[in-house]
Amino acid sequence: AMPIPHYFAIGHDILSCEQFDVVHAHGLFSGAGLGMSWLAGRLGMPTVLTVHSLAKGPTRMSAQVLANIFLNRVTCVSGVSRAVADDVRDTLGRDDIVVVHNGIDVNEWTPGCGEGPEGRTGRHGPQRRPQEIAAVTRLVAKKNPRALLRTAQRILQRAAAGTRLTIIGSGPERARLDDDI
């Protein structure tokens, strides 16, 4: 659990030494997620928090207390459904909660501003250097890791040479995912 003082030092070292573009944490009750979000905010790093569950009953008060301590510098908060986003909006008192579903229909996405044949333009210019694409997830049908793999394979075909995909997780879909590789 991140809010243990020793782990704050480890988290600070990780965030200070690595060159992350964004920190993405999950859950209102993940000690590691809350702690790293807080540290990233203190270091001025953009931070996204994705919430997967409703905060009901006594957990709502706990979520509010934890949010007041750890989440005041989070750049963006998302919920995995409209119900979760509405609940988080009420719990955190933020109006800027967005919905990002667990499964994304890539047909609804369009190229963004600055994207052209030479690659997407980021804050450091065209991103044609090899990238690391990583996903940490439970490998269960509900999360649709096979769609994740198919999407990543399409991205890798257009990405810079040397770009890699790492999927971290376990679950009953692991064997099917291994078969698809």
Alpha helices in the chain (DSSP H): 5-17, 31-42, 58-70, 82-92, 145-158, 174-180
Kindly report, residue by residue over 149-174, the tens digit of the pLDDT: 988 888 888 888 898 888 888 899 99
Residue whose pair of structure tokens reads 């990405």 in the numeric block:
159
3-state secondary structure of 12: helix
Pick the closest to residue 24 from 52, 63, 1, 65 (CA basis).
52
Helices and strands: H and E segment counts in the chain: 6, 9
For residue 81, what are its two tokens?
């459904």
User: Does pLDDT of 115 surpass 70?
Assistant: no
Q: How many CB atoms lie within 10 A of CB 110?
A: 6
Pick the closest to residue 73 from 34, 109, 27, 105 (CA basis).
34
Q: Enumerate residues 6+ apart whose C-beta is below 8 A from 125.
A: none
Kindly report, residue by residue over 56-85, the tens digit of the pLDDT: 888 888 888 888 888 888 999 999 999 999
pTM, to two decimals: 0.58
Pick the closest to residue 36 from 67, 2, 62 (CA basis).
2
Q: How confident is the model at residue 118 (pLDDT cuts 50, 70, 90)?
A: very low
3-state secondary structure of 41: helix
Pick the closest to residue 15 from 47, 51, 52 (CA basis).
47
Kindly report, residue by residue over 79-92, the tens digit of the pLDDT: 999 999 999 998 88
For residue 163, what are its two tokens?
């770009």
3-state secondary structure of 176: helix
Kindly report, residue by residue over 21-40, the tens digit of the pLDDT: 899 999 888 878 888 898 99
